[in-house]
Amino acid sequence: MGHGKFTTVINCMDGRTQLPVIEWLKLKHGADCVDSITEPGPVRILAEARDTAALESIRRRLSISVTKHGSKRVAIVAHADCAGNPADKQAQLDQLRAAAATVLSWGMDVQVDLLWLGDDWQVEQVV
Ligand SMILES: [Zn+2]
């Protein structure tokens, strides 16, 4: 495709989470370009799976990244002090795992990585 290696992130819209995650994905996964899908507190949207319009919007954008840019991985991000999802860390880690199940249920050929950013804005991979 001549645009380098794409990867995808479903991130919070929070401006504090963008650059740390993009830099981490470039370093850890050798991504040249990171397609960003942002929502306020996306892990809550994906975990609860109640807002069908928001879910469909995320699914559609991920599909474009996968089919048009050839992305093979999607990272899902949760973080401390989230205005869109004011849940504690443990609850958000549970939401991250449920969010992964939602994304995997869409049947796209992508590997899912789960990332947490604490108060120090360092990226931690959640297993
Ligand atoms: Zn947030």
CA–centroid distance, residue 73 to ligand 1 (Å): 21
CA–centroid distance, residue 123 to ligand 1 (Å): 14
pLDDT digit of tens for each residue in the chain (127 aa)? 567 999 999 999 999 999 999 999 999 999 999 999 999 999 999 999 999 999 999 999 999 999 999 999 999 999 999 999 999 999 999 999 999 999 999 999 999 999 999 999 999 999 8
CA–centroid distance, residue 51 to ligand 1 (Å): 17
What is the pTM assigned to this prediction?
Answer: 0.96
CA–centroid distance, residue 79 to ligand 1 (Å): 6
CB 96 within 8 A of CB 113: no
Please give the structure tokens belonging to residue 114: 């789960």
CA–centroid distance, residue 2 to ligand 1 (Å): 33
What is the distance between the terminal CA atoms of the chain, rounded to a whole angstrom? Answer: 32
Domain 6-126: CATH class, spelled out: alpha beta
From residue 76, alpha-carbon distances to 2, 11, 124 in Å are 26, 6, 12
CA–centroid distance, residue 72 to ligand 1 (Å): 24
Strand order in the sheet with 6-12: 33-39, 6-12, 73-79, 111-117, 123-126
pLDDT at residue number 75: 98
Tell me the β-bridge partners of 8: 35, 74
CB 94 within 8 A of CB 85: no
| Domain assignments of the chain as residue spans, ordered by start | 6-126
CA–centroid distance, residue 120 to ligand 1 (Å): 14
**pLDDT > 90: what percent of the chain?**
96
Q: Locate tokens 């789960």: which residue?
A: 114
pLDDT at residue number 27: 97
